[in-house]
Amino acid sequence: MNAIISASELASELAGECPPVVLDVRWQLSVAKAAGEPPFDGRAAYEAGHVPGAVYVDLDRELAGAAGAAGRHPLPDLAEFGAAMRRAGVSAARPVVVYDGGQGWAAARAWWLLRWAGHPDVRVLDGGLPQWAGDLSTDVPARGEGDFEPVPGADGLLDADAAAALARSGVLFDARAGERYRGEVEPIDRVGGHIPGAVSAPTNENVGADGRFLPPEELHDRFKALGASDGAEVGVYCGSGVSGAHEVLALAVAGIPAALYVGSWSEWSSDPSRPVAVGPDPQ
């Protein structure tokens, strides 16, 4: 099953007999703002105009647990996550399409979490809302209760120890910007650098100027050149398990299965006993 859907394909499916549930997950990374600008308000953006029939989902409150020792965006409580998805109308037998404001990170987090929790049919709108050519709606739909019950899979999730081991036995991609991987800057976490053995693979290099994913064959060639050869076990991490989900999605588009270290650098770097590598070399 394809992990992404084009805007034209979504419009066609919404006009069909069994339209998908559409989730709006607009979100932006909150970094301390020296100029004092107000934080991004995803719900306000949704209320100002969204794909008709879409339901807003809050990444920080519904797709992640409270920030702490496990990272800035740890896994949510599964019972609470399931209840949030049912309120949004998500059912196991109905397709789901997720979109955000165009960056793709938040939509990918929802895609990854739903897939890991057992939903069989979830896709991301390629390029997000900017690709939508139809009218926008300000109506909040009266969505009926869904029946989705999370049943997490045995694969697809890494903890800190598994990520460290995979960096030695397989391929562990660091999806953050190269300067954060190298430890040259660190605007959020305690210390800069990367997990020893991890390979730098910035997620923004998986998309074109319009925010849509590169063709599958180009993505496959990119990841293969970075070490994801046939049969290699692959994992991804980022700052807090959001942009890393976008890289897992890019790998899925390329036909390469990968696991996500949800705690990512925000969890890893919070423990001073864990080793940190700096510079361009993985080790």
Q: Which residues are catalytic?
A: 238
The helix-helix angle for 243-253 and 105-116 (nearest 10°) equals 70
Secondary structure of residue 212 in the 3-state scheme? coil
Strands (E), 17-112: 21-24, 55-56, 96-99
Q: How far apart are CA 19 and CA 21, in angstroms?
A: 7
Q: How far apart are CA 263 and CA 269, in angstroms?
A: 10
Taking residue 136's Cβ as centre, other Cβ atoms within 10 Å add up to 12
CB contact at 8 A, 242 and 263: no
